[in-house]
Amino acid sequence: MVLGAVLLVLADSSRTSSLVTALSDRGVTARVETSVAAAVCALPEGSFDAIVLDPAADGTSSDVAATIRRFGEIPVIVVADGARSAVAAIRAGAADFVDGCLEAAELSHTLEAVLAARADGSSGEAEVLPSSGLVGESKPMRQVLDVVRRVAAGSATVLVRGESGTGKELIARALHAASPRSAEPFVKVHCAGIPESLLESELFGYERGAFTGAVSRKPGRVELAEGGTLFLDEIGDVSAAVQIKLLRLLQDREYERLGGTATLRANVRFVAATHRDLEHMIRKGEFREDLFYRLNVVPVWLPPLRARRDDVALLSRKFCETFGRTHDKPKIMLSDAAVAALSAERWPGNVRQLQNFVERLVVLSEGGTIEASDVSRELSPEAAFATQHSMTASVLESPGEGTGGSSVVVPLDAALREAERAAIQRALRHAKGNRTLAARLLGVGRATLYKKLVELGLGR
Per residue in 346-384, pLDDT (tens digit) is: 999 999 899 989 999 999 888 899 999 999 988 875 554
Q: pLDDT confidence of 254, banded at 50, 70, 90?
A: very high
For 119-134, the pLDDT digits (tens) are 554 443 333 333 333 6
- Least confident segment among 73-77, 261-265, 289-293, 445-449: 445-449
Clarify whether residues 298 and 172 are in a common domain: yes
Clarify whether residues 229 and 337 are in a common domain: no
Q: Which pLDDT score, from 0 to 100, does residue 400 have?
A: 44
Is 281 within a domain?
Answer: yes
Is 187 within a domain?
Answer: yes
Q: Which pLDDT score, from 0 to 100, does residue 380 have?
A: 77
Q: Which pLDDT score, from 0 to 100, does residue 382 have?
A: 52
Percentage of residues of the chain with pLDDT beyond 90: 34
Clarify whether residues 299 and 190 are in a common domain: yes
Q: Which pLDDT score, from 0 to 100, does residue 459 have?
A: 64
Domain of 278, CATH number, reads: 3.40.50.300
Q: Which pLDDT score, from 0 to 100, does residue 198 have?
A: 83
Which tops the pLDDT comparison, 63 or 33? 33
Q: Which pLDDT score, from 0 to 100, does residue 458 have?
A: 77
Is the pLDDT assigned to residue 294 strictly greater than 70?
A: yes
For 148-206, the pLDDT digits (tens) are 989 999 999 999 999 998 989 999 999 998 999 998 889 999 888 788 878 888 899 88
Number of structural domains the chain divides into: 4
For 70-122, the pLDDT digits (tens) are 887 788 988 887 777 887 888 788 888 887 777 777 787 788 777 766 655 44
Clarify whether residues 85 and 147 are in a common domain: no
Q: Which pLDDT score, from 0 to 100, does residue 381 have?
A: 58
Is 134 within a domain?
Answer: no
Q: pLDDT confidence of 255, banded at 50, 70, 90?
A: very high
∠ Cα 97 102 103 (to 5°): 115
Q: Which pLDDT score, from 0 to 100, does residue 134 have?
A: 66
**Of 279, 303, 327, the domain-final residue:** 303
Clarify whether residues 375 and 407 are in a common domain: no
Is 456 within a domain?
Answer: yes
**Could you tell me the residue range of the domain that residue 401 belongs to?**
384-460
Domain of 315, CATH number, reads: 1.10.8.60
Q: pLDDT confidence of 17, banded at 50, 70, 90?
A: confident
Which tops the pLDDT comparison, 402 or 35? 35
Clarify whether residues 435 and 316 are in a common domain: no
Which tops the pLDDT comparison, 341 or 70? 341
Domain of 452, CATH number, reads: 1.10.10
For 47-61, the pLDDT digits (tens) are 788 899 888 887 655
Clarify whether residues 235 and 328 are in a common domain: no
Is 124 within a domain?
Answer: no
Clarify whether residues 294 and 312 are in a common domain: no
For 221-234, the pLDDT digits (tens) are 999 899 999 999 99
Q: How far apart are CA 112 and CA 27, in angstroms?
A: 10
Clarify whether residues 161 and 298 are in a common domain: yes
Q: Which pLDDT score, from 0 to 100, does residue 162 have?
A: 94
CA 170 to chain centre: 13
User: What mean pLDDT is predicted for residues 3-7?
Assistant: 77
Domain of 28, CATH number, reads: 3.40.50.2300
Predicted TM-score (pTM) of this structure: 0.70
Average pLDDT of every residue of the chain: 82
Clarify whether residues 68 and 195 are in a common domain: no
